[in-house]
Amino acid sequence: MRVAILIGRDPDLRYSVHRGYVDAVLAVGATPIVVPMGPVEHVDRAVEVASMCDALLVTGGGDVDPHLYGEEAVPEVGGVDAGRDLAEIACVEDARSRGARIFGICRGVQLINVAAGGSLIQDLPSAGFHGHSDEERWNQPVHEIDAKPDSLAALALGGMTHVNSLHHQAVKTVGNGLTATAWSADGVIEAVEADGLLGVQWHPERIFGTDPRHLAGFRWLVGA
């Protein structure tokens, strides 16, 4: 089982990904294939490589360009990469067309939602939602979460009721064909899903080392 891990360009002059994504894929017995999301003119190459894999992991990073969901960017938006946005949308659409499983984390769930025609809350604090970006406690559960019973989100939680939280954006309008299946106590959407697709707003790749239950979403991704 090969899992394409889509990665961005950050910091400048580097392609990079948090090692937790790779380590989690290895931990569930699959082979990680790191696929860089390069310049706009090379989108087709990213799709070509990702399409050779059995599943797709869409990782965290900078903000998705608000123009892709018909809005002007607010001042708090940062880290936009047009090449990455377009390449990841194309990879997600390709994976859905061939029935490959998709797991999106943080930016990943946001990108998946935008690819399906949905929109995002561009900045949670400005919209009145606080406590969702706690970098100091990146590997600790910081807020409560409630998942719809028998959903993929509930499966990924593995019985947990609290998650870590490192985001300033979130799903606003749910994309076509997707369903919201988990929420924080203040009503922020924490997961969306569809057949063969799961996106979560928290970071299981950063915390599975201290709580192996966080590997549940990765096990689902590889069909375990």
Q: Using CA atoms, how far apart are residues 36 and 149, in angstroms rounded to an integer? A: 35
In the block, tokens 């063969």 appear at: 196
Q: Using CA atoms, how far apart are residues 206 and 185, in angstroms rounded to an integer? A: 22
Range of lowest pLDDT (18-27, 36-45, 62-71, 213-222): 36-45
Residue 67 annotated in active site: no
Q: Using CA atoms, how far apart are residues 182 and 170, in angstroms rounded to an integer? A: 12
Model confidence pLDDT, tens digit, residues 161-189: 999 999 999 999 999 999 999 999 999 99
Catalytic site residue from 88, 190, 193, 205: 205
- Please count the structural domains in the chain: 1
Q: Which of 180, 145, 150, 148 is nearest to 161 (CA)?
A: 145
Catalytic site residue from 18, 91, 106, 214: 106
Catalytic site residue from 132, 167, 203, 214: 203
Pairing of β 162-163 and β 143-147: antiparallel
Residue 76 annotated in active site: no
Q: Provide the residue range defining the domain that includes 101.
A: 2-221
Cβ(88)–Cβ(80) below 8 Å: no
Residue 203 annotated in active site: yes
Query: pTM for this structure?
Result: 0.96
pLDDT of residue 135: 82
What residues have CB less than 8 Å from 44, skipping those under 6 apart?
90
3-state secondary structure of 136: helix
The CATH number given to whatever domain includes residue 58 is 3.40.50.880
> Counting Cβ atoms within 10 Å, is residue 152 exposed (0-12), middle (13-18) or buried (19+)?
buried
